[in-house]
Structure 1
Amino acid sequence: MNPLYFDHGATTPLRDEVRTIMANTWEETFANPGSLHDDGQKAADRVNAARRLAAQSLGASSREIIFTSGGTESNNLAILGAARYLRNRGRHIVTTAIEHPSVLQTCHSLEAEGFSVTVLPVDRHGLITPKQVESALTPDTILVSVMAANNEVGTIQPIAAIGQLLRARNILFHTDAVQAVGKIPFTVDDWGVDLLSVGGHKINGPKGTGLLYVRKGVRLTPLLYGGGQERGLRPGTLNTAGIVGLSVALQLAVAEVESIRKRLEQLRNHLWNRIQTEIGGVTLNGHPQQRLPHNLNISFDRVEGQAVMLELNRYGIAVSSGSACSAGKHAPSHVLSAMGRSAEEAYQSLRITLGWETQLEDVDRLVKCLEEVIGYLRSLVPGE
């Protein structure tokens, strides 16, 4: 049987359109876009066109787009860059307990530099409220970082309401939108964000590419030094083909977001309904409605998620027992723990994430294999 891929929350395959334009870029514009000769300027033109395309997709201007190596670098540049630039104005940062490690660890690293960090708790669905954010603010608060949608359980946060709240108080607002882009429609003005992170490999673009939206007037201290590229915020020779591929992937993801969202929701709901009725003993993790359309995070009674993942792998089916960024760590998910799940419940979790190429027959085959795997694993439990 053909292998099936249900781990799009970890990474996604390149779309054909992206692969083609990247190949053409490597072939035609290998020169350094910082060079002044004709070949260099041809490469620079490609980068500038990609910047305009990416900006248009987010409802931004091209001067507000900084290309990076991915979501992790974008998150680091946003948080460290903003905090260090504004340190004389205040040293308090607010974030949430379910952020990606590239946000949580970055925020906590600033504590060694004299900053204080408030980590907001979430409810059992992984949600925070604007009121929580408001209550956490102090005269010393300079930055709030709240992810748009969680990478493990798919819960979508009230970003627009939080953005409106912070705009009125002149506090910078960063959102990690890596999982949200291409799955839910938005513009940077809709959300009222000052800083927004995007990663290419979550939207069927190339790995090692990303961008940071930096609203006009927002100043950051760079993390790296050595050149003037990306307005001095991200020095180093630009990855022309990667940038071009990222911009095309972003354009396609945003253009198709409504149709893709509807189709993925239907497939995900079909999958969830079949699992409940045909397998049973399963709990949904994350908000039942305010969730990403392609994400299904569930816990099966009496079996560990990693065991299910490994057994499915023998069937040629790829899923995840949590975030790929924490794979290999023998510790319960910090996201599920923050949502009040026990360690046992967290270890029982399985993340299934669909993609634009997923078909109904793929979902039905997954259910059939899951039923066999869960039945087999439960039969090994003493007393069953």
Structure 2
Amino acid sequence: MQTVSNSIIVEKVKHSKIDKVDFNNLSFGKYFTDHMMVCDFKNGAWEVPRIVPYQPISLDPSAKIFHYGQSVFEGMKAYKDKDQNVWLFRPLENQKRINISSKRLAMPEFPEDYFMDGLKALLKLDQKWIPTAEGSSLYIRPFVFASGCGFHASPSDEYKFIIACSPSASYFAGKVKVLIEEKYSRSANGGVGFAKAGGNYAGQFYPTQLAVEKGYNQVIWTDDNNHEYIEEAGAMNIFVRINDTLITSPTSDRILDGITRKSIIDIAKDENIAVEVRKITVKEVVEASENGSLKEMFGAGTAAVISPIATFGYQGRDYDLPEIKNSYASTLKKRITDIQYNKAEDKFGWRYQVEV
């Protein structure tokens, strides 16, 4: 049976599978909620979004996603506070960014009202799936891909936009050991590094695999020209603390405009932490480590919020970072998560309540 609410078509599952999920032992991206949002682009326009039972997708073998890689995605979370209210964190930034990514890959932009209305309808229907354990959340994955058929090397004429959700426990990465990359590049000037395109991540897997074989957890990406500048940490933006100054690379064609990154910059300034958005060389980081002025390095992204780096490797040598109390990483992470879980004042207006 289908109903229409706020222009969103809703088809509910007959039987929920939530009782089969052990919410005390969640792992990232393993379980999926009862429903998903689906919206098709056909005949030059987006159709009305639908909320349907979570299910496999049927595609023709000639669907252009398989051949030319038109695919972009986002990562978001929904949170519950102690009173069971549901919150999002800067969702319009995700909506804007997926359209920026889509435009770069010659894909149609998705309407803001469809995005927000569809997401809110999905969360209202699957609100019981939002975990309540400390630090846990509902991971939200909006993505769009070319579903039109044909072997001709050209943009598709049909696309499918989907939002799927997965309950996830608190993310603990532990101490991360990273390798500064000297051969492979994540992206290049004029390319698609600033977009959350699936192919960007596919291209990272092999160099990361090589680093893992050497005993590292992740790769620090450097520029594509001379591998002189620090740019990103795996799939995250990167921050470096030298003495009491926090430094991060400026966004560019090669670097993702991370929402967590922007939030950290604003909160750091509010904490009266000196922040510099500028290029930072590998040489500067190595020298700071050798003279003791390198205090912290950490990645920033949706999944972990902040992931501290304990050791970095470069040219056959490992450099350990000091363990310090009251680190910038811990202070900034707490400020962000307290806003996300409605535990503290949100002076920036980032918290977005979903009426359920």
TM-score range, shorter chain: under 0.3
Structure holding more strand per residue = 2
Using the size of structure 1 for normalisation, the TM-score is: 0.25
Structure with the higher helix share, 1 or 2: 1
